[in-house]
Amino acid sequence: MYYSHQCSYCHKVFYVYENDKYKASEMLYDIIKKHLKEYEEDHKEYKFDDGKSEDSLEIFNGMTTSSHKPPGGYDK
């Protein structure tokens, strides 16, 4: 299953292919945080500053699920 979530700052869509929804949310958190740091946007973004466990849960509750790769999405 494909799981996707938007970057909280620039709104690019990131996705992973994973069978476990919670693991997918943790992977998406890591991907989005890495993206924010690489593009020097992490200090501008405040939505995902509560730590991995709390923010992964927030992603878990807001991510999109699909059996097809999201169009225009960025893979890890």
Domain-by-domain residue ranges, the chain?
2-75
Q: What is the pLDDT of residue 9?
A: 82
Helices (H), strands (E): how many in the chain?
Answer: 2, 4
Query: Residues 46-65: pLDDT tens digits?
Result: 576 677 888 889 999 999 99
Alpha carbons 29 and 5: distance in angstroms, whole number: 9
Residues (pLDDT < 70) of the chain are 41-46, 48-49, 75-76
Q: What predicted TM-score, i.e. pTM, was given to this entire model? A: 0.84
Cα–Cα distance, 70 to 6 (Å, whole number): 11
